Amino acid sequence: MTKAVAQTLWSVSRQNAKALSEVKELELFPLLRKVAGEHKEDPKWKGAVDAIMNFLREFREDKGLERKAVYNDYY
């Protein structure tokens, strides 16, 4: 259910500037960051966390949750 909500918010916000402004006004980005941070290690939440991270990343709201690049010894 959380995954579907995140995908719907993401889809609507991408297509409608007024919807995006409402997401910002309701301060949903901090709430979504909190949910993603709390559940990022839980395998049952993987789909929801991925959808939330994509949504946050698109609007550059993924502060503190970015996954850093992992380099092997070759680099």
**Each residue's pLDDT expressed in tens, for the chain with a length of 75 residues:** 788 988 998 899 999 999 999 988 999 999 999 998 899 899 999 999 999 998 988 888 877 776 766 777 765
Burial class (CB in 10 A: 0-12, 13-18, 19+), 57: middle
pLDDT for the residue numbered 45: 92
Q: Which helix (H) or strand (E) holds 56?
A: helix 46-58
Separation of alpha carbons 54 and 51, rounded Å: 5
pLDDT for the residue numbered 64: 73
Domain ranges of the chain: 2-58
Model pTM above 0.85: no
Quick one: residue 71, left, alpha or beta (phi over 0 = left, psi -120 to 50 = alpha)?
beta
Tokens 């502060």 locate to 63
pLDDT for the residue numbered 69: 67
